[in-house]
Amino acid sequence: MRILKLTDICKDYMQGKEPVRVLKNINLEVEQGDYIAIMGPSGSGKSTLMNIIGCLDVPTSGEYELNGNNLRNLKDDDLADMRNKYIGFVFQSFYLMPKMEAVDNVALPLLYADVPLKERRQRAEEALKAVGLEERIHFLPNQMSGGQCQRVAIARAMVTKPALLLADEPTGALDTKSGKQVMDIFDDLSDSGMTILMITHDPDIARRAKKVYHILDGELLTNQEGGTGRE
Amino acid sequence: MVENIHLAFEGIWSHKLRSVLTMLGIIIGIAAIITIVSTIKGTNEQIKENLIGAGNNVVTIELNQNGNQYDLSWNPLPDQVRVITEDTRKELEQIPGAEQASLYYKRSYSDGLFFRDTAFNGNLIGVDQNYFSVYGMQVRSGRGFTEKDYSQYRKVALVDSTAAESLFNGVDPVGQCLEFGTEVFTVVGIIGPREEFTPTINSFNDYYLYANDGSGTVYFPSSVWPTLYQFDEPQSAAIKVRNTDVMASVGKDAADLLTSSQIIGTDTGFDYRSADMLEQAQQLQNMSKSTNTQLVWIASISLLVGGIGVMNIMLVSVTERTSEIGLKKALGAKKKRILLQFLTEAAVLTSIGGVIGVLTGVGLAELISRVMQIPVAISAPAILIAVVFSTLIGVIFGLLPATQAANLNPIDALRRV
């Protein structure tokens, strides 16, 4: 089953009065169960691509189909719905709500899906268990290590059972050991059938993916087979 | 919603000093309005009380001709006006808000009533058996009128304390004789209001308005009134009402009833009108109200300034929490949810300000009443309105910052960390 399909996606940004093309005719298809890494140096347009894939931004031209929905001409609130339903985000700097316990942080996306409170809690606790944090359910983010925080963020991304897990430099703010822990979780998720798309500039991380794309100056270059997976 | 309110309290609590300073404008505005309104209401209630007397909610309905009170002291017996029957009196008691009705004859100028060689120049009133109960009067010494006084047409009289003083000159009136023409009446008692009511007098104006002057009143049983004045005269009615709020409506209904049932023929110029003190009180109250309304306007400006302060702080708060907003949007929060969250926070902030303002205002009003001897009445509706209004201010002035937050672009919001 096809999760997403990008056709001739272009994105322009205004720099002063001149439009600058940041993404040039991107074509990409992601199938159910894919484990993809997109690599590229800073300024290559990989963040912009991630924003478009994550429905945070809209392309200047081109077609984007996500889980069978064409995203052309969708309003802000419809895009919010798409994000909530189909995409789980993992960010480099976690973005946890500092005054919420781990379980409430994880339950947040369910709130926006209008899931009743009791079910929210239950599903959030299960998601935390799945990332091995059942002991930390009532901890605040500042009481946890970076690795633990990122695992909470993964639990939050997975709690809605999204079609696509979108990770932006998931290990960028972590030390090697916790980075490895986090990546192991990604590998496990992939093994269980989760579709994962990850953006990184770290070749070691990218090697874990089954497919690696390179992006340079706004163009998606090669489609090379990924590494060996787990080391 | 509960979630939002919870979040709002958390947000406010985490910036205590800032929140208090933000609320200050609202607090001052609401406190000022509550204080002013309480003082207005206190003054008004005093005026009302002074005019109406302690708890005597009585409205009188009198015969008028061409808009002037028709006083039989100077005017001939009106042909076109019937005597009010007992049935009609009972009908008066059926008016919603009416409790008890009394019929009475009255001369405000009495010619020919003497005690020894002293002429009496006060009011003469011929009362039915309900009259003293309607006015809440009771016998001070001697006895009142009995059933038999009425049925046997006994020539007896009661005097009030003013008449007792002006007419009897130190002699105990009970048992004394009053002469009216060739008739002799025995004074059987002194009657007065159940509670002696002294109006609060703060100025000369108050004195002229409230202080009872005159020579007092002598009361006769209504059955002997024709002995005094030969004819069956049309009576006036006095109706005790449930409370002062219904005085005007009962007065109007009763006047209409009597006008339609008692006046014979059309275009006679006669009608019945209610004379209640409330109307007079209202005129006075309007005067004090108009000056105070201006004060309320000034206080409202403080509320406006407070509202702008709230808007300012909310804008700062939106900027500070950009990444929080961005994250929520990324996770799928819709515009409405973000909008509501910030609106709730603004509304909770101003509502707390409103409540503190109400408490301060009530305290201030009490203080003013103690220090300056001004009567103060705390008005419950005013408090309610104040709190609702302060919430409304939060919603109105929170609208701009909240819209700004709701319209934040999630990428920009996330990037700005």
Residue B287 binned pLDDT confidence (cut-offs 50, 70, 90) = low
State how far residue A110 is from chain B, nearest Cα, in angstroms. Answer: 9
Assess whether pLDDT exceeds 80 at residue B291.
Answer: no
Structure tokens that stand for A82 in this block = 């798409």
The first and second tokens of residue B200, run together, are 């609060």
Name the token pair of A212: 């690696």
Cβ of A57 under 8 Å from any chain B Cβ?
yes
Task: Count the domains in chain A.
Answer: 1
B321 touches chain A (CB under 8 A): no
- Calculate the average pLDDT of chain B: 84
Q: Would you say residue A88 lies in a domain?
A: yes
Question: In whole angstroms, what is the distance from residue A196 CA to residue A215 CA?
Answer: 17
Across the A:B interface, residue pairs with CB atoms under 8 Å apart total: 50
**Average pLDDT over every residue of B275-290:** 66
pLDDT interval class at B338 (50, 70, 90): very high
DSSP-based three-state secondary structure for A126: helix
Determine, yes or no, domain membership for A127.
yes
* Cα–Cα distance for residue pair A13/A58, rounded to 1 Å: 12
Give this complex's ipTM: 0.90
What are the two backbone dihedrals, phi and then psi, of residue A184, each rounded to the nearest 5 degrees? -60, -40
What DSSP designation does A143 have?
G
Enumerate the β-bridge partners of residue B186: B156, B177
Q: Is the pLDDT of residue A227 over 70?
A: no
- Range of weakest confidence among A51-65, A143-157, B72-86: B72-86
Give chain A positions within 8 Å (CB) of B329: 80
Confidence check: pLDDT of A77 > 70: yes
Closest to A87 measured CA to CA, from A31, A4, A10, A5: A4
CB B61 within 8 A of CB B237: yes
Domain presence at residue A112: yes
At residue B208 the predicted structure's pLDDT band, cuts being 50, 70 and 90, is low
CA distance B225 to B126: 6
Contacts of B331 in chain A (CB under 8 A): 83-84, 89, 108-109, 112, 156
Determine the pLDDT at residue B50: 67
Structure tokens at B84: 């009010």
Residue B109 CB coordination number (10 Å): 12
Mean pLDDT of B46-68: 74
- The SS3 of residue A77 is helix
Find the residue in B nearest to A117 (Cα).
B3
Which is more confidently placed, B248 or A168?
A168
How many other C-beta atoms are found inside a 10 Å radius of the C-beta of residue B1? Answer: 7
Q: How far apart are CA B342 and CA B318, in angstroms?
A: 8
| pLDDT number for residue B54 | 46
- Residue B213 pLDDT: 54
CA distance B38 to B32: 10
pLDDT bracket for residue A61 (50, 70, 90): very high
**Is the Cα dihedral A97, A100, A103, A109 positive or negative?**
negative
Closest CA to A29 of A45, A6, A60: A6
Percentage of chain A modeled with pLDDT above 70: 96
pLDDT tens, residue by residue, A157-187: 999 999 999 999 898 888 989 999 999 999 9
Contact yes or no for A109 and B334 at CB 8 A: no
Please state which of the ranges B192-206, B237-251, B297-311, B348-362 shows the lowest mean pLDDT.
Answer: B192-206
Contact B335 A76 (CB under 8 A): yes
What residues does B184 pair with on adjacent strands? B179
Whether residue B334 and residue A85 make contact (CB cut-off 8 A), yes or no, is no
Q: What pLDDT, in 10s, does the model give residues B151-201?
A: 999 999 999 888 888 888 888 999 999 998 888 999 999 998 766 656 666
Q: How confident is the model at residue B405 (pLDDT cuts 50, 70, 90)?
A: very high
How many residues can be counted in chain B?
Answer: 417
Q: Cβ contact (<8 Å) for B410 and A93?
A: no
pLDDT on residue B251: 86
| Total-model pTM | 0.65
Residues in B touching A113 (Cβ below 8 Å): 332
Distance CA(A10)–CA(A64), nearest Å, equals 11
Average pLDDT value for residue range A87-106: 91
Of A57, A99, A113, the CB nearest to B10: A99
Tell me how far CA of residue B93 lies from CA of A97, B89, B278, in angstroms: 70, 7, 20
3-state helix, strand, coil in chain A (%, to 5): 35, 30, 35
Contact assessment for residue B246 and residue B97, using Cβ atoms and an 8 Å cutoff? yes
Please indicate if any CB of chain A lies within 8 Å of the CB of B328: yes
Q: How confident is the model at residue B299 (pLDDT cuts 50, 70, 90)?
A: confident
User: Does A18 map to a domain?
Assistant: no
CA-to-CA distance for B2 and B368, rounded, in angstroms? 39
Mean per-residue pLDDT over chain A, rounded: 89
Instruction: Give the pLDDT of residue B417.
Output: 47
- Establish if A121 touches chain B: CB-CB under 8 angstroms: no
Which of B414, B401, B252, B282 lies closest to B338, judged by CA? B401
Polymer length of chain A = 231
pLDDT in tens, A120-131: 999 999 999 999
Q: What's the one-letter identity of residue B250?
A: V
On chain A, the residues whose CB falls within 8 A of the CB of B417 are 93
* pLDDT (tens digit per residue) in B93-109: 999 989 999 999 988 87
Q: CA distances (Å), B226 to each of A30, A203, B368, B394, in order?
A: 113, 122, 56, 71
Judging contacts by C-beta atoms under 8 Å, the chain B residues touching residue A51 are 411
**Within an 8 Å CB–CB cutoff, is residue B89 touching chain A?**
no
Which residue, among A43, A45, A44, has the nearest Cα to A57 in the 3D structure?
A: A45
**Phi, psi of B140, deg, nearest 5:** -95, -40
How confident is the model over B2-30, as pLDDT tens digits? 777 887 888 788 888 888 888 888 998 89
Handedness of CA A169, A173, A176, A180 (dihedral sign): negative
Domain positions in chain B are: 2-49+284-415, 73-243
**Residue A63 is assigned to a structural domain of this protein:** no
For residue range B106-143, list pLDDT tens digits in order: 888 777 889 988 888 888 999 999 999 888 888 989 99
**What is the structure's pLDDT at A231?**
42
Residues B288-314 have a mean pLDDT of 82
Mutate to test the interface with B, among A49, A53, A66, A112 (most CBs of B within 10 A): A112
**A124 in Cβ contact with A110 (< 8 Å):** yes
Testing the interface with B: which of A77, A115, A152, A168 to mutate, by most B Cβ within 10 A?
A77
Supply the CATH number for residue A38's domain.
3.40.50.300
Domain of residue A148, residue span = 34-51+83-224
Which chain B residues touch A80 with a CB distance below 8 Å? 329, 332-335
Rounded distance, CA B147 to CA B415, Å? 96
Is A74 inside a domain boundary? no
